[in-house]
Structure 1
Amino acid sequence: MSTYRQTPFWRAYTALAGHLDRTVGWDRMPLPLGLAVLIGLRTALRQDNLHDTSGLPSAGGPDPGPATADQRVARTVDGAHNDLDQPAMGMAGTRFGRNVPLDAVRDESPEDVLHPNPREVSRALLTRTAFVPATSVNSLVAAWLQFMIRDWFSHGTSPADRPWTVPLAADDPWPERPMQIPRTPDDPTRPAGSPGPQTRVNVLTHWWDGSQIYGVDAREQAFVRAGHGGLLRVLDDGRLPLPEDADLDPSRVPGFWVGTEMLRTLFTREHNAVCSRLAASYPTWDDEALFQRARLVVAALIAKLHTVEWTPAVISHPTTVTALRANWFGLAGERLHRLLGRISESEAISGIPGSRRDHYGVPFALTEEFVAVYRMHPLIRDDWDVRSAADDSPVREYAFGDLAGPKALKVLADVSMSDLLYSFGTLPPGLVEMHNFPRALQEFERSDGHHQDLAATDILRSRELGVPRYNAFRRLLRLRPASTFEELTDNADWAREIRRVYDGDIEKVDLTVGMFAERKPRGFAFSDTAFRIFILMASRRLNSDRFFTEYFTPEVYTPEGLAWIADNSMASVVLRHHPELRPALAGVGNAFAPWRTTATGR
């Protein structure tokens, strides 16, 4: 447990903030008071909701290798040596942490993992009956989230043996009997039968380092690099090359679709633009120096865009917009930050980048609870109307299945990138709520030919990984649990449906179901419960990374690199590589908000 701000003043502050939040609600307060309450809530979360799994029994972990001088100014491919004193912290192959006490992590019995039946939960509570759009944002929001997840976390390839067998109702049209859901891979660093809750490892790095572009091992990185000028490989037609080695082919990895490849292509080209800028200023730098500095710049730009554009777009309450932008610029604001730089050592006043690094007394790791709240598949549409960026005329209609896996490659070959970006920018995603899970993902055909109900899988995964169910989760975050189904949701039909599926036991309601059903704060596309993990972990990923804190300097990034980060937005990145999209983005303040249609100019 963290020792962060454990003083009488801060204990009183956090207690008062929690009381006001429970009795009034931070989202119902005037902006200054709401911000003060959020500061108190984040402080309490840092104190009580960071828990270390690295001290549990271990039979060894990944080897960070020896330190080198180059690692002081460059990210390693596997995330090692970010913390120079603890070189294995956050590297690929290390454990997920927890946001709940380790004694609250239940190793659920097989009976509990399968009850209520995950497939019944999927069919009865999550199935999209009619598409409910999130009208304040566009579908780049959905593509961006998947693009980020491919950088943040993965439990790895599930073993073929010992799958979960899920019973099916007689009227269930599932094409395979029985339904089988692969298990999450075991922790290879954990001795069998050792005491304490089970742990899992992240096969990606825990750092915010752009690994979805640069790879997470030497083979992947060697393939994407051009070998000269620091550049990444781009084909003459603007697409990215795919390896002949099936093990490296991203199109065969679950989760690959047009949205993620579209953004990977965009930021690969952005990397090359940064390289050109650095090469002009530092003509003696070799391929390695240009590559590593450009990677630092692009990773930081992506982190900035997620912090100050994507997240405020999907949780657009005035208080959260101010708070999230303050993570990067501080409450002093962007204008003063650009004019004077840091005016205070405080992250609250001058933002996290360039501040003092802080792990809050707990070694840094992404958490299983962070993984759980990012299960936002309702953002994905089932039907995609691709239109021309030039005049909004129809190009083609696609089902989501046509945009996913190897089939996506044909779409990327047939449709211009500008038309895809324009279509994503003008189509709304789905709202993250009950009865809005895409049918295409409930009936998903994987690249290996097997079928998967991702809604049932999402439910089962949280149980399997010991993530507390909804009410227990809220208690551990100091939120009031729902005492009745009517208190859980203000939708009377949903309350009846949830009661039936969970046999009247409110304590059995899964985290995902509760988050999808609960009342959302104004401007939110997802739940307030999920937001609590966001306000803790979104800042922690910046606070713990030396390249976003003490090493966020001109000496490491170069003055040109820091200027690139400061001067660019998602819109400017898009327009640098696709200037033909300027009419669609004219007057759009945030590129994750709906774009103008070129047919009407609206």
Structure 2
Amino acid sequence: MCLYNSVLRLFVYNSVLRLFVYVVVVCPVLLSALARDSSVVTHGQEHYHTKDPPCASCPRLGRCVPKVQCPAHVRSRSYNPACHLEGSVGICCFTFREHAAESDHSARASTAISADDVKASHQKSRQTLAQWMSIAGKLLEHSARTLVNRTSPSYGHHLSVVTHDARAATLGQGGLLNLFAAQELKARQAISDDELALGFTEHTDGPFCLPPPTCSSPSRYRSIGGECNNPTHSTWGAIHTGFERLLPPDYSDGTWAMRTAKSGLPLPSARRVSSTLLLDGSHPSSAHNLMFMQFGQFIAHDISAGVVFTADNGSAISCCANDGEDLLPSELQHFACAPIEVAPDDLFYGQFQRKCINFVRTQIAPADDCSVGYAKQMNGATHYPDLSHLYGSSEEKLSSLREAGGLLRTFNDFGRELPPLTERKECLSMKEGAACFESGDAHGNQIISLTVLHTIFTREHNRVARELSALNPGWDEDTVFWETRRILQAVFQHIIYNEWLPLLLGPQIIKTFQLLPSEGYSSSYDPHVNPSLSAEFSAAAMRFGHSTVDGRLMIQSPKMGGVYESISIPEVMFQPARMRLRHFMDRLLIGLSHQAMQTVDPFVTEGLSRYMFHGGNPYGVDLAAINIQRGRDHGLNTYNQYRRLVGLEPYTEFQQFAPSAAQRLSSVYERPDDIDLWVGGLLEEPVDHGILGPTFANIIADQFDRLKKGDRFFYEHEPGVNPGAFTTVQLLEIKKVTLSRLICDNRDGVELSSQSPAAFLRPDVPGNEPVPCESPRILSMDLSKFKEN
């Protein structure tokens, strides 16, 4: 029984009728009554989650959702009875994805901010920005100390987070203006901390308003920059907009200052956490290969690109003296500096007398409604999985990548199509003849296995474009290009949802969030769902992949009878010249298929935690420490807070963790409530038949659910929703495509002639033995279905 059996027995005798009354009448009424009783306490807060059997339907038009999709349920006095989801238990949500509970709305006083306060905040904001920009500009007078040297490992990291789009800096200054205005209103007590945290600032106008995009009649094709996807909210998911939040941020000042420990003391250095907890170790996956890891990075680069501040001339900011010998004096530090301190006795960096790892904060994005509020970091990519890292996110970038005939521009390397060469000095090795490639996001050279995927998709675009042009001789080159782009975007999305996500999340979470492709069209579009990435997804959960990286790439050669060479991954970061070797691409593809990825756990290869981007130096950058610091930069809440969000009990004692982790955790953090999200997520055991623990799995599942429901151009959406919808026959052809098909169709064919049907599983997994590329087990898309009648 749901509640109060005695009440039911008085009025209901028939068992069938008793069930009906419980579901339809008693459950909602009595739960509503209990919700008004603030004596029910869980997790140390006054909010009600019934321990009784879940209701079959939610009262008061509530929606039954996974807990991660109703952040208000962790708020004081929230009312969220349990309910049935697909194969699991969710909660009834009445506040959608808002951070505020119903009680927060009802208790909120409608206070108006005076015109004098607004005027003063605008004036103060402009003065503050002018002061900051003036100070930052004067730092260039000391450029030898305040800019990163090209030979420094930090320069390689800068290449990974820089944007060459001039729009970012302008919008970033607008974001700062609105942030400073919020800080001034807070200082004048015109806005409370709760109003800032819960987003109750819609009644304020900032000194900077984002220019709205011009959206014409519905286009058949996605826009380049992601704008105009949602007819009502035209900037949702667009480039240079802010990351959204699953929970309000944990800034020590409520607006932008980085998080401190619960005691008020500084958090432990991110390097100290990394060196103590995230050790080098090898724990190969029993089934998943390195292609799974690499495709995850390919997805991440497409939808997420944090844009860091740069100096006035666009150069990389240095926060460390003499390439890490110490922190720069405060008077020489840029306002965006948040350097990572390294202890003098650090077991690795101490050998080289390094006391500082360079770290520059992410630019701030202005709100689309020009309201003031806490800092939201800027995404330098479109938030949608739309292959923006292949096609670019601006008209100028796309124009530079296009070739005649609807093709993408390539570098013809003696008959082999490779991505076009870039004119920028982007690669660490610029010797004569060394290749450095252009991509839509300028990050395609970050590691050579990523360059291979850029090559595969570039070739696939040109292969499809040539065939479409032959099938439709009446099409001009623009039509050929846009139709090819539309098909490739659909193929990319299908591989994500059909092949990659199920292995990552496991069948139960896939079922709960309904992420599998449909039989035909999907009817899941919801114009009220904001698809924009969450900060938690971008700055923590999706970075699980750094734990899965193996320290070496095994280049396999069937002709040579096994492993041809073993390459340390720092040697091929921003050094893709090996792509010009005729046999290399096939051999690397074979190696990515055969080599096991590392499991998701608190182990990170020293290639990432000690030697990343080392160039000619004996040390490199610590990516694990940077991930931890980036989470703090983005104001991510603590690991325990996200455990609460997804429905797990928070840890109150270090001893509740596995013994191998408990002691090390307690040696760096004061208490469990201080643990960083990225660190805690790596410590969890994976969900059934998945790769991730439940916290990361829920955060990622929620994100891809929103990328499906909130994207009008999602490949499965029907013609009534998607202006560029495919016919049912065309959609069926797209759903035949797998990553194995793309590999087979775009390999060099020098040594690769067979491929496992499941590209993300190792060939030694039973049933996944390699088959010839011509095998019917690797289906092909019939492009004749795209011939225009």
Q: Does 1:458 align with 2:458?
A: no
Q: Deviations over 1:379-435 (max 9, x none)?
A: 111112211145642321100111211x22235546432111110010011112113
Does the C-alpha gap of structure 1 residues 363 and 584 become closer, same or farther in structure 2, counting only changes over 3 Å?
A: closer
**Residue 322 of structure 1, CA deviation:** 5.1
The amino acid that maps onto 2:593 is G
1:562 aligns with 2:731: yes
* CA distance in structure 1 between the partners assigned to 2:579 and 2:423 by the alignment: 20
Give the equivalent residue in structure 2 for 1:367: 534
1:27 corresponds in structure 2 to: none
Please state how far the C-alpha of 1:253 moved relative to its aligned partner. 4.2
Q: Which residue of 1 aligns with 2:290?
A: 139
Partner of residue 392, structure 2: 215
SS of aligned partner of 2:596:
coil
Contact 1:357 1:546 in 2 (8 A): yes
Q: Which stretch shifts more, 524-533 or 473-482?
A: 473-482
- SS of the counterpart of 1:568? coil
Report which of the two structures shows the higher radius of gyration computed on alpha carbons: 2
User: Deviation at 1:556?
Assistant: 4.2
The one-letter code sitting in structure 2 at the alignment partner of 1:419 is R
Task: Go from structure 1 to structure 2 and tell me whether the alpha carbon gap of 1:116 and 1:103 turns closer, same or farther (over 3 Å shift).
Answer: closer
Give 1:482 deviation, angstroms.
1.3
Take 2:235 and 2:688, find their aligned partners in 1: how far apart are those partners? 41
Q: CA, structure 1 residues 483+188, in 2 after alignment: closer, same or farther (shift >3 Å)?
A: closer
Mapped partners of 2:274, 2:698: distance in 1 = 25
Kindly provide the amino acid, as one letter, of the partner of residue 667 in structure 2. R
Residue aligning to 1:186? 363
**Structure 2 equivalent of residue 75 of structure 1:** 222
1:387 counterpart letter in structure 2: Q
1:93 matched to 2:240: yes
Kindly tell me: are residues 7 and 474 of structure 1, through their superposed partners in 2, closer, same or farther at Cα, counting changes over 3 Å? same
Separation in 2 of the partners of 1:259 and 1:566? 25
Aligned pair partner of 1:475 in 621, 644, 661: 644
Q: SS state of the match for residue 516, structure 1?
A: helix
Partner of 2:494: 304
Residue 394 of structure 1 aligns to a residue whose secondary structure is strand
Q: Is residue 314 from structure 1 mapped to residue 499 from structure 2 by the alignment?
A: no
Residue 228 of structure 1: SS of its match in structure 2? helix
Tell me if 1:442 matches 2:610.
yes
Asked if the contact 2:289–2:593 (Cα under 8 Å) also holds between the matched residues in 1, the reply is yes
Does residue 536 (structure 1) correspond to residue 536 (structure 2)? The answer is: no
Contact 1:254 / 1:446 at 8 angstroms: preserved in 2?
no
Q: With structure 1 as the length reference, what TM-score do the two structures score?
A: 0.81
CA displacement 1:38-62 (0-9 Å, x = unmatched): 6x36979964569879958544465
Q: CA deviation at 1:176?
A: 6.4
> What is the identity, as a one-letter code, of the residue corresponding to 1:138?
N
Aligned pairs for 1:230-309 within 5 A: 230-233=407-410, 235=412, 236-246=415-425, 249=438, 253=443, 256-309=446-499
Give the 3 Å change call, closer, same or farther, for CA 591–253 of structure 1 in structure 2: closer
> 2:65·2:93 contact (CA, 8 Å) conserved in 1?
yes
Q: What is aligned with 1:84?
A: 231
Task: Return the match for 2:382 from 179, 196, 205.
Answer: 205
Contact 1:258 1:412 in 2 (8 A): no
Q: Distance in 1 between matches of 2:736 and 2:769?
A: 27
User: Cα deviations across residues 293-348 of structure 1 (Å, max 9, x unaligned)?
Assistant: 11111112111111111122233x34245567x52434xxxxxx2xxx34xxxxxx
1:121 to 2:273 alignment: yes
SS class of match (1:429): strand
In the TM superposition, what is the alpha-carbon distance from 1:563 to its structure 2 partner? 4.2
Alignment partner, residue 493 of structure 1: 660
The superposition leaves residues 480-539 of structure 1 with CA deviations (integer Å, 9 ceiling, x where unpaired) of 11122232x3x3121111111113x11111111211112222333222101111221111
Instruction: Work out whether 1:166 is the aligned partner of 2:326.
Output: no
Distance 1:54 1:445, change over 3 A: farther
Q: After alignment, is 130-139 or 412-421 more displaced?
A: 412-421
Give, in angstroms, the shift of residue 263 of structure 1.
0.8
2:168 aligns to what? none
**Deviation (angstroms), 1:469:** 0.8
Alignment pair present for 1:37 and 2:88: yes
Which ranges of structure 1 fall in alignment gaps of 5 or more residues?
Answer: 19-32, 331-336, 343-352
Using the TM superposition, give the Cα deviation of residue 158 of structure 1 relative to its aligned residue in structure 2, in angstroms.
3.5
Distance 2:478 2:232 in 1: 25
Per mean C-alpha deviation after superposition, the further-off stretch among 158-167 and 396-405 is 158-167
Question: Are the aligned partners of 1:17 and 1:41 in contact in 2 as well (CA < 8 Å)?
Answer: no
Which residue type is aligned with residue 627 of structure 2?
D
Change (3 A) 1:80 1:520: same
Distance 1:454 1:119, change over 3 A: same
**Residue identity opposite 1:319 in structure 2:** Q
Consecutive unaligned residues in structure 2, runs of 5 or more: 1-55, 70-83, 101-197, 311-316, 318-333, 427-436, 771-789
Are 2:654 and 2:665, in contact at CA under 8 Å, matched by a contact in 1? yes
Q: Secondary structure at the match of 1:187?
A: coil
Residue 754 of structure 2 corresponds to: 583
Is 1:52–1:98's contact at 8 Å kept on the other side of the alignment? Answer: no
- CA distance in 1: counterparts of 2:664 and 2:272, whole angstroms: 11
**C-alpha displacement at 1:220, in angstroms?**
2.2
Q: Is the 8 A contact 2:410 2:418 kept in 1?
A: no
Residue pairs, 1:519-530, within 5 angstroms: 519-530=685-696
Contact 1:164 1:180 in 2 (8 A): no
TM-score (norm: length of structure 2): 0.63
* Percent identity of paired positions between Structure 1 and Structure 2: 22
- The residue that corresponds to 1:28 in the other structure is none
Residue 284 of structure 1 and its aligned partner are, at CA, apart by 1.0
Relative distance call for 1:157 and 1:53 in structure 2 (3 A) is: farther
Please report how far the alpha carbon of residue 9 of structure 1 lies from its aligned counterpart in structure 2 after TM superposition.
Answer: 7.3
Q: Which amino acid aligns with 1:149?
A: A
- Looking at structure 1, the residues matched to 499 and 92 of structure 2 have their Cα atoms a distance apart, in angstroms, of 20
Partner Cα separation in structure 1 for residue 530 and residue 614 of structure 2: 36
Measured against aligned partners, the alpha-carbon deviations of 1:361-386 in whole angstroms (never above 9, x if no partner) come to: x5442110111211121111111221
The one of the two structures with greater contact order (alpha-carbon pairs below 8 A, sep at least 6) is 1
On the 8 A contact 1:141/1:429 being kept in 2, the answer is: yes
- Coordinate RMSD, CA, aligned: 3.7
The equivalent position to 2:260 in structure 1, one of 95, 100, 112, is 112
